[in-house]
Chain A
Amino acid sequence: ITVILFFCNPYPNYTKMPHQRFPKIQILSLASHEIKFVLSDTDTSMANTLRRIMIGEVPTLAIDLVEIHENSTVLNDEYIAHRLGLIPIRYQAPDSLRGGDVHGAFLSHRECVCYERCPRCSVEFELEVDYDTVNPARQAQDGAGGEDDEEDHEVMAPLTITSKDLKSNNEYVTPAHFLHQDEQDESQDDGIALVKIGPGQRLKLKAIARMGISKEHAKWCPVAVATYRFWPIITINDDACSTLTAEQKQELVDVCPDRILEYDEQVSGNITVAEDAWDTATYTEDLRVTQNMMKKRPEDEDFLSVEPSTDKFIFNVETTGAMDAEEILMASLRVLKDKLNYMAQEVEKVRDMNM
């Protein structure tokens, strides 16, 4: 493959640095809110870099400024503002079927040339909910007895102000109320609950959302979960295993709490690796301890071993709803490329100065 690349080489550095391997990605499962993939042929540094960028440096939109005009709810202003900031906000580019990546659609408000804010760097939301407008109070009844008055008043249920009540001034930007249809079906509210109000209470505010990264504040984080595990390398020494009795083999299989082995006495008489061993492996010490007891001499070879791989990782990424799952992965790679471009420019500048 190296030879073929040499002649029509889009990656010239590959031939100068033959030790370089190019990472491979294989997607295990993909939903709109969650992606599981395997990253291989690379090092923990790359995997960790990707994870760190997904958590900390992918830009998203979140409410950053709140102007409160009226608040007679039971929660105080900054409490409500804090809750507003944590609402995930989703941008859907016009004509695009993909959701989420704000890159190129908005400017960071520090870079924007406007005076205070403008549609290029921010999105405005308005929220106005008045309990009495939604649930008009019934007239008090005349002529009833004193003790009956309380029973005549209808019990007014609290009204929940949710993220559905936020009205955006940009039709492509809305709060992400739910992750998927199942969540919406199970929920009792129309969106993310902000505050509950009762009769006579009102909430009127204007919220401005800006672009930012999670390193500045966690509200801009596009993922709920971004983790990786190591792929387990399970080696079975068949020669050594053949010296074990059937009961010993069964014991080895049963001692693993993560069920990574299978043993079928009738069919094969050998210990085999389970189908989903890569998913369930947890690298416990049970196997090693049990084997040491079975060995005739401590320095004998192991019958089985489970080791975490050093170059194959299983990623599990769940979003908050602000971006689609595969968008986050692609955005984090793009962020890394932008960082490197910037670095390369700075290096050039320094080199020109020194020349």
Chain B
Amino acid sequence: MSVNEVKNKIAVKDFEVKGTGRKGARTFAIGNEDHTLGNALRHVLMNTSKVSFTGYSVPHPSEPIVQIRVQTADPDGDAIETLKESCQTLHDQCSFVLERLEDMLPEVREDRIRMEKIIAEEGYGDDDDDDEEEGDGDGEEEVVMEED
């Protein structure tokens, strides 16, 4: 669009598994990610009893790729399964913290419940756009059903 527009490079592959040999030792190359996810997953993997070796690296800062290495302690272990479990653990930790936050801020929880009820009652489209006040279509290609 403009001469000096900067486009963030997007990785070619979103996810790639490298490594031959036993199923328990694999390197996962994740595209479009950086230390944000890599360090967090690495930390969760370190605290997993199944894992004997784990680490992460960003091969080059110009490329948005992070590599996570997993080696299981059990010779018959599955590295992919271990990675999935640690994703789930981290996901549960986030859910746990969100719930504790809502406990501490009851008005946020009430608001969320109220919004979800509104969305459920009024059905489709309420959570996408909010041009409820513009009742006339104006000929715009709106995929959303407008509320009365």
Identify the A interface with B (CB < 8 A): 10-11, 13-14, 16-25, 27, 30, 42-43, 45-46, 48-49, 52-53, 56-57, 93-98, 104-107, 113-115, 118-120, 170-172, 215-216, 326, 329-330, 333-334, 336-337, 339-341, 343-344, 346-351, 354
Contacts and interface: CB of A to CB of B under 8 A. Distances in A.
Contacts of B62: none
A119 B131 contact: yes
Interface in B87-111: 87-98, 100-101, 104-105, 107-108, 111
Given A95-B114, A337-B91, A46 B85 contact: no
Interface in B19-70: 28, 30, 33, 35-37, 39-40, 42-44, 47-50
A14 B107 contact: no
A13 B84 contact: no
30 contacts: A13-B85, A13-B92, A16-B85, A17-B49, A18-B49, A19-B47, A20-B48, A23-B93, A45-B43, A46-B43, A48-B39, A49-B40, A52-B35, A93-B115, A96-B114, A97-B107, A114-B141, A118-B141, A118-B142, A120-B129, A172-B130, A333-B101, A336-B90, A340-B91, A343-B15, A344-B88, A346-B14, A347-B28, A347-B83, A347-B84
B94 A336 contact: yes
Contact of A344 (B28, B87, B128, B129): B87
A25 B132 CA distance: 37
The 9 A-B pairs with the shortest beta carbon distances in the complex, nearest first, are A346-B15, A45-B43, A49-B40, A19-B47, A45-B39, A11-B92, A52-B36, A13-B89, A333-B94
Contacts of B129: 105-106, 119-120
A333 B35 CA distance: 16
Contacts of B49: 17-19
B130 A93 contact: yes
A100 to B, nearest CB: 12
A105 B127 contact: yes
B105 A25 contact: no
A49 B92 contact: no
A25 B8 CA distance: 34
A347 B80 contact: yes
Given A216-B8, A330-B101, 14 more contacts: A22-B97, A43-B43, A52-B36, A94-B132, A96-B111, A119-B129, A119-B142, A120-B129, A170-B131, A330-B108, A336-B94, A337-B95, A340-B91, A346-B30
A329 B133 contact: no
Contacts of A344: 84, 87-88, 91
